[in-house]
Amino acid sequence: MPSNVEIKAIVSNHEEFAERAAQLSQSEGAIIRQRDTFFNCSQGRLKLRDFMDGTGQLIFYERPDTDGPKLSRYSISPTTDPSSLRTVLSDALGVKGEVRKKRLLFLVGQTRIHLDTVEDLGHYMELEVYRLRQTLQLMVAHNLMKQLGVSEENLVTGAYMDLILKGSNEA
């Protein structure tokens, strides 16, 4: 199963973070709109990512719910009919919840930098470091955290879905 190292954190200044990421990537980034539907499953997380253009991906992943850099193992299957796949999976497994976001994607070497505006949550960033040995992935992730001004106290555990469910349980 493929893997990457991930970091997720709250972004306090969206514009400043976008500027830093643009400088590092030497690009303005690409805007991607996503609707992730999470399904009930016995281990890990299963989500259907709908790109809102008739395409999507079914993604299964496992990663620890800790802050800081963490190893994520995943499997991805593309789909050209996310709507009907959502119906089948909803009927079979039940829906845990949904996350809607606007993602600004920057690429820096083997790393994807995501600046996400998540509906009902706010601004977050994710780093995903790919195709390097795990020790190198961790070094790259820590280095980019520093360059982007991401502080330890802003690190987040879990997935956006967990944060949304936590918020709805506290209301």
pLDDT attached to residue 29:
97
Q: Which two tokens stand for residue 2?
A: 């493929």
d(CA 22, CA 104): 10
- C-alpha span between 129 and 141 (Å, rounded): 7
**pTM to 2 decimals?**
0.92
Which pLDDT value is given to residue 167? 86
Between CA 52 and CA 96 the distance in angstroms is 20
Closest C-alpha to 44, from 9, 3, 85, 16: 3
**What range does the domain containing 156 cover?**
3-170
User: Mean pLDDT across the chain, nearest whole number?
Assistant: 94
pLDDT of residue 171: 40
C-alpha torsion 25→34→146→60, nearest 10 = -110
How many domains does the structure of the chain reveal?
1
CATH number at residue 153: 2.40.320.10
Q: Mind listing the pLDDT tens digit for each residue in 5-40?
A: 999 999 999 999 999 999 999 999 999 999 999 999
CA–CA dist 137, 71 (Å, integer): 9
Task: Note the pLDDT tens digit of each residue in 89-145.
Answer: 999 999 999 999 999 999 999 999 999 999 999 999 999 999 878 888 889 999 999
Q: Dihedral of CA 38/103/105/148: which sign?
A: negative
